[in-house]
Amino acid sequence: MSTFTLPSLVILLSFLSVANSGSIGINYGRIANDLPSPAKVVQLLKTQGVNRVKLYDSDSNVLTSLSGSNISVTVALPNEQLFQAASKQSFTDSWVQSNILSYYPKTLIEFIAVGNEVFVDPKNTTPFLVPAMKNVYSSLVKYGVASSIKVSSPVALSALENSYPSSSGSFKPDLIEPVIKPMLSFLKQTGSPLMVNIYPFFAYIANTDTISLDYALLRDNKGQTDPNNGLVYKSLFEAQIDAVYAAMKALNFDDVATAISETGWPSKGDENEVGASAVNAAAYNGNLVRRVLTGSGTPLKPNEPLNVYLFALFNENQKPGPTSERNYGLFYPNEVKVYDIPLTREGLESGPTVNNRSKSVVVTAPTSSPLPAPVNGGGNVEASKVVNTWCVANEKAPREKLQAALDYACGEGGADCRPIQSGATCYDPDTLEAHASYAFNSYYQKKARGTGTCDFNRAAYVVTQHPKYGSCKFPTGY
């Protein structure tokens, strides 16, 4: 992600730990003018089971709202203060007193993030990063809280010179001696993780000819074998993490832990941002949550738990850049979900499966705005005057067209696709046509059988005989 110029904060979700499973977090940015108040956000987080929060600043209202909430907090010293923090110990002493000790321990501060993606900061603050980190740490030591509050700094994946294959991962040569080695040495000495921002979405849209969407979205795929060590990667996400591990190992710092401070997939993008959609965002984040909470580490470090922070909690309407930048949220500002994915181990066990197929995605549409028209809507089907009509898949439609329409219905269209999840009442028969028919009919009925709502670019049509697939019963209305 691009460097933030306005206050942002990151919310981390915590979950029960089992075996080598990791934890999932969610970034909560505030570059918007329509978000709930910090007090309301804290309540939202508590209802979602959140017990960790990370700020990109040290906003007083946010820290005050978090006081007594039992939510652990990471605060940040922004890039624009790095020069002062690096230059004067007295500055960090004062900063720690005002922004840490004034709230701690009622506000459970556990991390300080010094800067954000400093290496790509256009103001060239890189030389000040490590000295600033050291001064912040010294201030924590001075006030007796260094053992309970750690110091780190989120780094963009662009700090790597090479990332493919993973075993060839290396840092950019001009960063190694001035900042990478000193920073890793500091992190090792203080027992803190290296925070890394990883976005397979960016790699995918830049290489759609060589990177499969399934590989990018953590869906079932053949995987890719690293030619240097024979390790097999089933996702781009894991391959990118191991490239960071390899880069650290090359500098003899492979014993420093990592935390993925940002990762996500946009639900909407510009025309050239291939793959930006609610369906793909739900697939990426949903599959990643399942991978992190029920799996172990990466192929290179299978025993290292993955600690991952999703980006982001809300869509942020004032972020600059392409459309995708404003559409990474799991929630709309009115707190309605952009799409619905399990976020806890309990949710994974009881909620809908979001795994390897588009039909498994369940999306909740916002109540504040109407649903978009069907794919290439404008069909010639008139609103039915007969109560008992249904919408089914056109068996003559190409599979690619059926799949695209199914993706839309279960995604942006807001169809109820829970009955076609694995193990649910309408999962069998497990065929594209059967699942598409159920999803199309759900959309059609929800839209009151209106004109063009059973078209999907000629991938569906209306029938007057009740469809039946096994024991599955298609609804007639909602």
- Contact (Cβ atoms closer than 8 angstroms) between residue 108 and residue 70: yes
Q: Output the furthest CA–CA distance in the chain (Å, rounded).
A: 79
Provide the pLDDT for residue 387: 52
Provide the β-strand partners of residue 196.
155, 260
Higher pLDDT, 18 or 98: 98
Range scoring the smallest mean pLDDT among 309-313, 330-334, 340-344: 340-344
Provide the pLDDT for residue 335: 80
Provide the pLDDT for residue 211: 95
pLDDT band, very low/low/confident/very high, at 148 (cuts 50, 70, 90): very high
Average pLDDT over residues 139-152: 97
At residue 366, does pLDDT exceed 70?
Answer: no
Provide the pLDDT for residue 36: 95
**Distant-in-sequence, close-in-space partners of 168: CB < 8 Å, separation ≥ 6:** 162, 228, 243, 246
Average pLDDT over residues 355-381: 37
- Contact (Cβ atoms closer than 8 angstroms) between residue 321 and residue 268: no
pLDDT band, very low/low/confident/very high, at 20 (cuts 50, 70, 90): low
> What is the rounded CA–CA span in Å between residue 49 and residue 399?
40
Percentages helix, strand, coil for the chain (3-state, rounded to 5) are: 35, 15, 50
Residue 257: Cβ-neighbour burial (10 angstroms; 0-12, 13-18, 19+): middle
Range scoring the smallest mean pLDDT among 46-55, 64-73, 155-164, 422-431: 46-55
Residue 142: Cβ-neighbour burial (10 angstroms; 0-12, 13-18, 19+): middle
> What is the rounded CA–CA span in Å between residue 241 and residue 169?
10
Q: Report the mean per-residue pLDDT for the chain.
A: 85
At residue 2, does pLDDT exceed 90?
Answer: no
Average pLDDT over residues 456-462: 87
At residue 18, does pLDDT exceed 80?
Answer: no
pLDDT band, very low/low/confident/very high, at 43 (cuts 50, 70, 90): confident
Backbone angles phi, psi at 264, to 5 degrees: 180, -175
Q: Would you call 117 a catalytic residue per the annotation?
A: yes
Provide the pLDDT for residue 154: 96
Report how far apart the first and last C-alpha atoms of the chain are (Å, whole number): 41
Provide the pLDDT for residue 409: 86
pLDDT band, very low/low/confident/very high, at 96 (cuts 50, 70, 90): very high
Average pLDDT over residues 181-200: 97
At residue 243, does pLDDT exceed 50?
Answer: yes
At residue 13, does pLDDT exceed 60?
Answer: no
> What is the rounded CA–CA span in Å between residue 266 and residue 455?
27
Tens digit of each residue's pLDDT (9 = 90 or more) over 404-457: 888 888 887 888 888 888 778 888 888 888 899 999 999 988 888 887 888 888
Residue found under tokens 């803190």: 192
Q: Would you call 262 a catalytic residue per the annotation?
A: yes
Higher pLDDT, 446 or 168: 168
Provide the pLDDT for residue 410: 86
> What is the rounded CA–CA span in Å between residue 360 and residue 421?
5
At residue 17, does pLDDT exceed 50?
Answer: no
**Pick the catalytic residue: 110, 161, 238, 262?**
262
Residue found under tokens 């169809």: 415
Tens digit of each residue's pLDDT (9 = 90 or more) over 369-407: 323 334 433 333 333 334 578 899 988 888 888 888 888
Provide the pLDDT for residue 64: 95
Average pLDDT over residues 250-256: 97
- Contact (Cβ atoms closer than 8 angstroms) between residue 309 and residue 262: yes
**Distant-in-sequence, close-in-space partners of 119: CB < 8 Å, separation ≥ 6:** 126, 155, 156, 158, 159, 175, 179
**Distant-in-sequence, close-in-space partners of 373: CB < 8 Å, separation ≥ 6:** 452
> What is the rounded CA–CA span in Å between residue 26 and residue 51?
11
Higher pLDDT, 185 or 313: 185
Range scoring the smallest mean pLDDT among 5-14, 227-236, 305-314, 453-462: 5-14
Provide the pLDDT for residue 37: 94
Instruction: Identify the three-state secondary structure at position 221.
Output: coil
Provide the pLDDT for residue 446: 87
**Pick the catalytic residue: 117, 238, 316, 325?**
117
Provide the pLDDT for residue 195: 94
pLDDT band, very low/low/confident/very high, at 26 (cuts 50, 70, 90): confident
The string of DSSP codes covering 413-433 is T----GGGSTTSTT--S--HH
